[in-house]
Amino acid sequence: MTRETLDLKRPDLLREQAFVAGEWVSGASSIEVRNPATGGLLATVPKLGAADTKKAIDAAQAAMKGWAKLTAKERANTLRRWFELIMANQEDLARIMTAEQGKPLGEARGEIAYAASFIEWFAEEGKRIYGDIIPAHAPDKRIMVLKQPIGVAAAITPWNFPAAMITRKAGPALAAGCGMVLKPATATPLSAFALCVLAEEAGLPKGLLSCVTGSAGEIAGAMTSNPLVRKLSFTGSTEIGQQLMVACAENVTKMSLELGGNAPFIVFDDADLDAAVQGAILSKFRNAGQTCVCANRIYAQAGIYDEFVQRLAKATEALKIGNGAEAGIDVGPLIDEAAVAKVEEHIADAVAHGGRIVSGGKRHPLGHSFFTPTVIADVTPKMAVAQEETFGPVAPVFRFTDEADVVAQANDTRFGLAAYFYSRDLGTVWRVAEDLEFGIVGVNTGIISTEVAPFGGVKHSGFGREGSKYGIEDYLEVKYVCVAGI
Ligand X SMILES: O=C(O)CCCC(=O)O
Ligand Y SMILES: NC(=O)C1=CN([C@@H]2O[C@H](COP(=O)(O)OP(=O)(O)OC[C@H]3O[C@@H](n4cnc5c(N)ncnc54)[C@H](OP(=O)(O)O)[C@@H]3O)[C@@H](O)[C@H]2O)C=CC1
Point out which residues bind ligand Y (CB under 6 A): 156-160, 183, 185-187, 216-217, 220, 235-237, 240, 243-244, 258-260, 292, 389, 391
| Amino acid identity, position 357 | I
User: Looking at beta carbons only, is 361 or 464 nearer to ligand X?
Assistant: 464
Distance in angstroms (rounded) separating the CA atoms of residues 78 and 431: 45
Neighbours of 140 (CB within 10 A): 9
235 near ligand X, rule: CB under 6 A = yes
Q: DSSP label at 321?
A: B
User: Looking at beta carbons only, is 110 or 131 nearer to ligand Y?
Assistant: 110
> Residue 193 is inside which H or E element, if any?
helix 189-202
* Binding residues for ligand X, total number by CB under 6 A: 9
Query: In 3-state terms, what secondary structure has residue 54?
Result: helix
Minimum distance from residue 164 beta carbon to ligand X (Å)? 6
Contacts of 450 (CB under 8 A, 6+ apart): 117, 467
> Residue 405 is inside which H or E element, if any?
helix 403-411
Minimum distance from residue 233 beta carbon to ligand Y (Å)? 11
Question: Which member of 455, 456, 468, 471 binds ligand X (CB under 6 A)?
Answer: 455
* Position closest to ligand Y via CB: 236
Distance in angstroms (rounded) separating the CA atoms of residues 38 and 323: 8
- Beta-bridged to residue 134, according to DSSP, are 143
97 near ligand X, rule: CB under 6 A = no
**Partner touching 319 among ligand X, ligand Y, none, CB below 5 to 8 Å by kind:** none
Query: In 3-state terms, what secondary structure has residue 213?
Result: coil
Tell me which of 111, 258, 389, 451 is the catalytic residue: 258
Q: DSSP label at 371?
A: B
User: Looking at beta carbons only, is 258 or 474 nearer to ligand X?
Assistant: 258
Minimum distance from residue 126 beta carbon to ligand X (Å)? 21
User: Looking at beta carbons only, is 60 or 292 nearer to ligand X?
Assistant: 292
Please, are residues 340 and 369 in contact by the beta-carbon 8 Å criterion? yes
Q: Which of residues 122-161 bind ligand X (CB under 6 A)?
A: 160-161
User: Looking at beta carbons only, is 30 or 243 nearer to ligand Y?
Assistant: 243
Minimum distance from residue 117 beta carbon to ligand Y (Å)? 18
Only segment of 203-211, 214-222, 289-297, 331-339 that touches ligand X (CB under 6 A): 289-297
User: Looking at beta carbons only, is 109 or 183 nearer to ligand Y?
Assistant: 183
Distance in angstroms (rounded) separating the CA atoms of residues 263 and 386: 10
Minimum distance from residue 284 beta carbon to ligand Y (Å)? 15
Reported residue count of the chain is 486
415 near ligand X, rule: CB under 6 A = no
Largest pairwise CA distance in the chain: 79
321 near ligand X, rule: CB under 6 A = no
Q: What angle do CA 62, 68, 72 make, to 5 degrees?
A: 150
Question: Would residue 258 show up in a list of annotated catalytic residues for this protein?
Answer: yes
262 near ligand X, rule: CB under 6 A = no
Please, are residues 355 and 329 in contact by the beta-carbon 8 Å criterion? no
The set of catalytic residues is: 258
Q: Which residue ranges make up the site for ligand X (CB under 6 A)?
A: 160-161, 235, 258, 291-293, 449, 455
